[in-house]
Structure 1
Amino acid sequence: MERIKNFFGFGEDLGDEDDIYESEPIVAVEPQEDRSQSVERSQRPRTTTKPALNIHSNSNVQMKICIHEPLSYDEAPLIVDDLRLRKAVVLNFEQLDMNIKRQIFDFVNGSLYALDGKIQKVNKDIFILAPSNIEIEGLKAELQEKGVFPW
Protein backbone atom coordinates (compact mmCIF):
# COMPACT_ATOMS: atom_id res chain seq x y z
CA MET A 1 0.00 0.00 0.00
CA GLU A 2 2.91 2.31 0.75
CA ARG A 3 4.22 1.82 -2.79
CA ILE A 4 0.93 2.98 -4.27
CA LYS A 5 0.86 6.04 -2.03
CA ASN A 6 4.45 6.86 -2.97
CA PHE A 7 3.71 6.35 -6.66
CA PHE A 8 0.90 8.90 -6.62
CA GLY A 9 2.85 11.27 -4.38
CA PHE A 10 0.84 10.84 -1.18
CA GLY A 11 3.42 8.89 0.80
CA GLU A 12 6.69 9.88 2.49
CA ASP A 13 9.43 11.45 0.40
CA LEU A 14 12.24 8.89 0.23
CA GLY A 15 14.63 11.15 -1.64
CA ASP A 16 16.20 10.10 -4.89
CA GLU A 17 14.62 7.01 -6.40
CA ASP A 18 17.64 6.58 -8.69
CA ASP A 19 19.62 5.20 -5.73
CA ILE A 20 17.21 2.28 -5.44
CA TYR A 21 17.68 1.23 -9.06
CA GLU A 22 21.46 1.59 -9.07
CA SER A 23 21.84 -1.14 -6.48
CA GLU A 24 20.10 -3.73 -8.72
CA PRO A 25 22.38 -5.84 -10.91
CA ILE A 26 22.12 -5.42 -14.69
CA VAL A 27 21.66 -8.68 -16.56
CA ALA A 28 22.42 -8.90 -20.27
CA VAL A 29 19.85 -10.89 -22.22
CA GLU A 30 20.85 -12.48 -25.51
CA PRO A 31 18.16 -12.53 -28.16
CA GLN A 32 16.93 -16.01 -28.93
CA GLU A 33 16.24 -16.99 -32.51
CA ASP A 34 12.60 -17.81 -33.08
CA ARG A 35 12.71 -20.82 -35.35
CA SER A 36 9.06 -20.59 -36.31
CA GLN A 37 9.63 -17.19 -37.95
CA SER A 38 13.04 -17.87 -39.47
CA VAL A 39 11.79 -19.79 -42.49
CA GLU A 40 14.06 -19.62 -45.50
CA ARG A 41 12.84 -17.65 -48.48
CA SER A 42 12.53 -20.73 -50.63
CA GLN A 43 10.14 -22.29 -48.13
CA ARG A 44 7.85 -19.27 -47.83
CA PRO A 45 4.60 -19.39 -49.78
CA ARG A 46 4.63 -17.06 -52.74
CA THR A 47 1.81 -14.61 -53.10
CA THR A 48 0.93 -13.39 -56.54
CA THR A 49 -1.67 -11.01 -57.78
CA LYS A 50 -3.58 -11.89 -60.87
CA PRO A 51 -3.81 -9.22 -63.55
CA ALA A 52 -7.15 -8.18 -64.93
CA LEU A 53 -8.53 -10.70 -67.38
CA ASN A 54 -8.64 -9.55 -70.99
CA ILE A 55 -11.55 -11.22 -72.73
CA HIS A 56 -11.49 -11.41 -76.52
CA SER A 57 -14.08 -12.88 -78.86
CA ASN A 58 -11.74 -15.74 -79.86
CA SER A 59 -10.86 -16.90 -76.32
CA ASN A 60 -12.20 -20.01 -74.62
CA VAL A 61 -13.46 -18.10 -71.59
CA GLN A 62 -17.23 -18.16 -71.21
CA MET A 63 -18.65 -14.79 -70.39
CA LYS A 64 -22.17 -13.58 -69.73
CA ILE A 65 -23.38 -10.39 -71.30
CA CYS A 66 -26.49 -8.90 -69.76
CA ILE A 67 -28.82 -6.82 -71.90
CA HIS A 68 -30.76 -4.11 -70.09
CA GLU A 69 -33.56 -2.05 -71.58
CA PRO A 70 -34.62 0.06 -68.60
CA LEU A 71 -38.03 1.70 -68.59
CA SER A 72 -37.58 3.72 -65.38
CA TYR A 73 -34.85 5.12 -63.13
CA ASP A 74 -35.60 2.38 -60.58
CA GLU A 75 -33.86 -0.17 -62.83
CA ALA A 76 -30.50 1.65 -62.72
CA PRO A 77 -29.24 -0.17 -59.57
CA LEU A 78 -29.92 -3.52 -61.29
CA ILE A 79 -27.55 -2.51 -64.08
CA VAL A 80 -24.85 -1.60 -61.57
CA ASP A 81 -25.40 -4.87 -59.69
CA ASP A 82 -24.50 -6.80 -62.85
CA LEU A 83 -21.36 -4.69 -63.25
CA ARG A 84 -20.41 -5.39 -59.64
CA LEU A 85 -20.75 -9.11 -60.41
CA ARG A 86 -18.17 -8.53 -63.19
CA LYS A 87 -20.61 -9.04 -66.06
CA ALA A 88 -20.54 -7.03 -69.26
CA VAL A 89 -23.74 -5.09 -69.94
CA VAL A 90 -25.37 -3.90 -73.14
CA LEU A 91 -27.53 -0.91 -72.27
CA ASN A 92 -30.37 0.00 -74.63
CA PHE A 93 -31.98 3.43 -74.14
CA GLU A 94 -34.15 3.41 -77.29
CA GLN A 95 -37.50 3.31 -75.44
CA LEU A 96 -36.77 6.10 -72.94
CA ASP A 97 -37.45 9.80 -72.97
CA MET A 98 -34.49 12.14 -72.67
CA ASN A 99 -34.82 13.07 -68.96
CA ILE A 100 -34.92 9.49 -67.66
CA LYS A 101 -32.19 8.49 -70.10
CA ARG A 102 -29.92 11.23 -68.73
CA GLN A 103 -30.60 10.25 -65.10
CA ILE A 104 -29.86 6.56 -65.69
CA PHE A 105 -26.79 7.37 -67.77
CA ASP A 106 -25.39 9.65 -65.05
CA PHE A 107 -26.02 7.02 -62.35
CA VAL A 108 -24.42 4.21 -64.36
CA ASN A 109 -21.52 6.38 -65.51
CA GLY A 110 -20.69 7.35 -61.91
CA SER A 111 -20.85 3.72 -60.86
CA LEU A 112 -18.55 2.73 -63.73
CA TYR A 113 -16.04 5.31 -62.57
CA ALA A 114 -16.15 3.96 -59.02
CA LEU A 115 -15.71 0.37 -60.28
CA ASP A 116 -12.91 1.30 -62.74
CA GLY A 117 -15.16 0.18 -65.58
CA LYS A 118 -15.34 1.28 -69.19
CA ILE A 119 -18.08 2.43 -71.50
CA GLN A 120 -18.26 2.25 -75.29
CA LYS A 121 -20.95 3.84 -77.42
CA VAL A 122 -22.31 1.53 -80.12
CA ASN A 123 -24.89 3.93 -81.57
CA LYS A 124 -27.05 6.82 -80.40
CA ASP A 125 -28.92 4.92 -77.67
CA ILE A 126 -26.91 1.70 -77.16
CA PHE A 127 -23.83 1.40 -74.96
CA ILE A 128 -21.49 -1.40 -73.89
CA LEU A 129 -20.52 -1.28 -70.22
CA ALA A 130 -17.59 -3.36 -69.01
CA PRO A 131 -16.25 -3.90 -65.48
CA SER A 132 -12.53 -3.65 -64.74
CA ASN A 133 -11.84 -7.31 -65.58
CA ILE A 134 -13.08 -6.92 -69.17
CA GLU A 135 -11.31 -4.87 -71.79
CA ILE A 136 -13.23 -3.42 -74.73
CA GLU A 137 -11.11 -3.43 -77.86
CA GLY A 138 -11.88 -2.57 -81.44
CA LEU A 139 -14.17 -0.28 -83.26
CA LYS A 140 -17.86 -0.66 -83.92
CA ALA A 141 -17.17 -1.84 -87.49
CA GLU A 142 -14.80 -4.57 -86.24
CA LEU A 143 -17.38 -5.81 -83.76
CA GLN A 144 -20.05 -5.95 -86.46
CA GLU A 145 -17.73 -7.87 -88.79
CA LYS A 146 -17.13 -10.50 -86.11
CA GLY A 147 -20.86 -10.84 -85.55
CA VAL A 148 -20.67 -9.82 -81.91
CA PHE A 149 -23.18 -6.97 -82.30
CA PRO A 150 -25.05 -7.35 -85.61
CA TRP A 151 -27.31 -4.28 -85.33
Structure 2
Amino acid sequence: MGAVRKVASYLGLGIDQEDRYYDDEEYVEDEYMPASERAAKRWRSTVESSRIVMVQPLKYNDAPTIGQHFREGQTVIMDVTGMPMPEATRMVDFAAGLAYGCEGRIERIADRVFLLAPSHVEIETT
Protein backbone atom coordinates (compact mmCIF):
# COMPACT_ATOMS: atom_id res chain seq x y z
CA MET A 1 0.00 0.00 0.00
CA GLY A 2 1.37 3.41 -0.94
CA ALA A 3 2.09 6.13 1.58
CA VAL A 4 -0.79 8.34 0.39
CA ARG A 5 -3.25 5.46 0.70
CA LYS A 6 -1.94 4.63 4.20
CA VAL A 7 -2.49 8.21 5.31
CA ALA A 8 -5.94 8.32 3.66
CA SER A 9 -6.85 5.04 5.33
CA TYR A 10 -5.57 6.27 8.71
CA LEU A 11 -7.65 9.42 8.37
CA GLY A 12 -10.70 7.34 7.48
CA LEU A 13 -10.96 8.66 3.96
CA GLY A 14 -11.07 5.16 2.46
CA ILE A 15 -10.34 4.15 -1.09
CA ASP A 16 -11.77 6.05 -4.03
CA GLN A 17 -13.88 4.35 -6.68
CA GLU A 18 -10.99 4.85 -9.13
CA ASP A 19 -8.73 2.66 -6.98
CA ARG A 20 -10.95 -0.39 -7.43
CA TYR A 21 -11.48 -2.72 -10.32
CA TYR A 22 -14.06 -5.36 -11.18
CA ASP A 23 -13.30 -9.04 -10.68
CA ASP A 24 -16.20 -11.43 -11.36
CA GLU A 25 -18.86 -8.73 -10.95
CA GLU A 26 -17.66 -7.40 -7.58
CA TYR A 27 -15.29 -4.65 -6.53
CA VAL A 28 -11.84 -5.71 -5.47
CA GLU A 29 -9.43 -3.35 -3.77
CA ASP A 30 -6.07 -3.27 -5.43
CA GLU A 31 -2.86 -1.79 -4.07
CA TYR A 32 -1.34 -1.08 -7.47
CA MET A 33 -1.86 -2.47 -10.95
CA PRO A 34 0.16 -1.26 -13.93
CA ALA A 35 -1.80 0.00 -16.92
CA SER A 36 -0.64 -2.95 -19.03
CA GLU A 37 -2.15 -5.41 -16.54
CA ARG A 38 -5.42 -3.45 -16.38
CA ALA A 39 -5.59 -3.53 -20.20
CA ALA A 40 -4.88 -7.27 -20.22
CA LYS A 41 -7.75 -7.84 -17.74
CA ARG A 42 -10.09 -5.83 -19.93
CA TRP A 43 -9.30 -7.86 -23.06
CA ARG A 44 -9.08 -11.24 -21.37
CA SER A 45 -12.03 -13.48 -22.16
CA THR A 46 -14.20 -14.37 -19.17
CA VAL A 47 -15.19 -17.69 -20.71
CA GLU A 48 -12.69 -20.10 -22.21
CA SER A 49 -14.00 -20.49 -25.71
CA SER A 50 -12.97 -23.17 -28.16
CA ARG A 51 -14.88 -21.56 -31.01
CA ILE A 52 -12.97 -20.75 -34.20
CA VAL A 53 -14.52 -18.26 -36.61
CA MET A 54 -13.65 -18.27 -40.33
CA VAL A 55 -13.97 -14.83 -41.94
CA GLN A 56 -13.52 -14.08 -45.65
CA PRO A 57 -13.68 -10.29 -45.94
CA LEU A 58 -14.30 -8.84 -49.38
CA LYS A 59 -13.59 -5.21 -48.49
CA TYR A 60 -11.82 -3.28 -45.73
CA ASN A 61 -15.19 -2.23 -44.26
CA ASP A 62 -15.56 -5.82 -43.00
CA ALA A 63 -12.81 -5.18 -40.42
CA PRO A 64 -15.22 -4.50 -37.50
CA THR A 65 -16.59 -8.03 -37.82
CA ILE A 66 -13.12 -9.46 -37.32
CA GLY A 67 -12.49 -7.14 -34.38
CA GLN A 68 -15.76 -8.06 -32.70
CA HIS A 69 -15.10 -11.81 -32.85
CA PHE A 70 -11.51 -11.40 -31.67
CA ARG A 71 -12.41 -9.14 -28.73
CA GLU A 72 -15.01 -11.70 -27.64
CA GLY A 73 -12.16 -14.16 -27.15
CA GLN A 74 -12.73 -16.20 -30.28
CA THR A 75 -9.96 -17.46 -32.51
CA VAL A 76 -10.34 -16.01 -36.01
CA ILE A 77 -9.12 -17.41 -39.31
CA MET A 78 -9.00 -14.55 -41.79
CA ASP A 79 -8.86 -15.40 -45.50
CA VAL A 80 -8.12 -12.31 -47.62
CA THR A 81 -7.75 -14.13 -50.96
CA GLY A 82 -10.93 -12.47 -52.28
CA MET A 83 -9.61 -8.94 -51.69
CA PRO A 84 -7.50 -6.76 -53.97
CA MET A 85 -3.87 -6.70 -52.75
CA PRO A 86 -3.88 -3.09 -51.39
CA GLU A 87 -7.03 -3.74 -49.32
CA ALA A 88 -5.72 -7.14 -48.21
CA THR A 89 -2.54 -5.47 -46.97
CA ARG A 90 -4.60 -2.91 -45.04
CA MET A 91 -6.70 -5.70 -43.53
CA VAL A 92 -3.63 -7.63 -42.39
CA ASP A 93 -2.19 -4.44 -40.88
CA PHE A 94 -5.48 -3.90 -39.04
CA ALA A 95 -5.50 -7.50 -37.80
CA ALA A 96 -1.88 -7.25 -36.63
CA GLY A 97 -2.68 -4.09 -34.67
CA LEU A 98 -5.78 -5.71 -33.21
CA ALA A 99 -3.82 -8.78 -32.09
CA TYR A 100 -1.03 -6.64 -30.63
CA GLY A 101 -3.43 -4.29 -28.84
CA CYS A 102 -5.38 -7.15 -27.29
CA GLU A 103 -2.19 -9.09 -26.41
CA GLY A 104 -2.99 -11.88 -28.85
CA ARG A 105 -1.05 -13.31 -31.78
CA ILE A 106 -1.33 -13.32 -35.54
CA GLU A 107 0.20 -16.10 -37.62
CA ARG A 108 0.27 -16.67 -41.37
CA ILE A 109 -1.05 -20.18 -41.98
CA ALA A 110 -1.26 -20.15 -45.80
CA ASP A 111 -0.90 -17.70 -48.68
CA ARG A 112 -3.15 -14.73 -47.71
CA VAL A 113 -4.72 -16.70 -44.82
CA PHE A 114 -4.02 -15.66 -41.21
CA LEU A 115 -4.82 -16.97 -37.75
CA LEU A 116 -5.64 -14.46 -35.01
CA ALA A 117 -5.39 -16.08 -31.60
CA PRO A 118 -6.37 -14.45 -28.30
CA SER A 119 -3.86 -14.53 -25.45
CA HIS A 120 -5.47 -17.59 -23.82
CA VAL A 121 -4.99 -19.75 -26.96
CA GLU A 122 -1.72 -21.62 -27.44
CA ILE A 123 -0.37 -22.06 -30.97
CA GLU A 124 1.99 -24.95 -31.65
CA THR A 125 3.91 -25.24 -34.88
CA THR A 126 5.57 -28.45 -35.93
Calculate the TM-score normalised by the size of structure 1: 0.50
Match of 1:14 in 2: none
Tell me the matched-pair count.
Answer: 81
Match of 1:87 in 2: 74
Q: Identify the match of residue 75 of structure 1 among 52, 58, 62.
A: 62
Distance 2:49 2:90 in 1: 32
Give the deviation of 1:120 after TM superposition. 1.4
Give the deviation of 1:78 after TM superposition. 0.9
Distance 1:75 1:62 in 2: 23
Larger relative strand fraction? 2
Match of 2:95 in 1: 108
Can you give the 5+ residue segments of structure 2 that lack an aligned partner in the other structure? 1-43
Give the deviation of 1:72 after TM superposition. 0.7
Q: Give the % identical residues.
A: 30
Larger relative helix fraction? 2
Match of 1:46 in 2: none
Distance 2:115 2:95 in 1: 11
Can you give the 5+ residue segments of structure 1 that lack an aligned partner in the other structure? 1-51, 54-60, 140-151
Bigger radius of gyration, 1 or 2? 1
- The 3-state SS of whatever aligns with 1:76 is helix
Distance 1:82 1:126 in 2: 17
- 2:54 is matched by which residue type in structure 1? I
Give the deviation of 1:100 after TM superposition. 0.5
Residues 49 and 74 in structure 2, CA contact (< 8 A), matched pair in contact too: no
Give the deviation of 1:102 after TM superposition. 0.8
- 1:87 is matched by which residue type in structure 2? Q
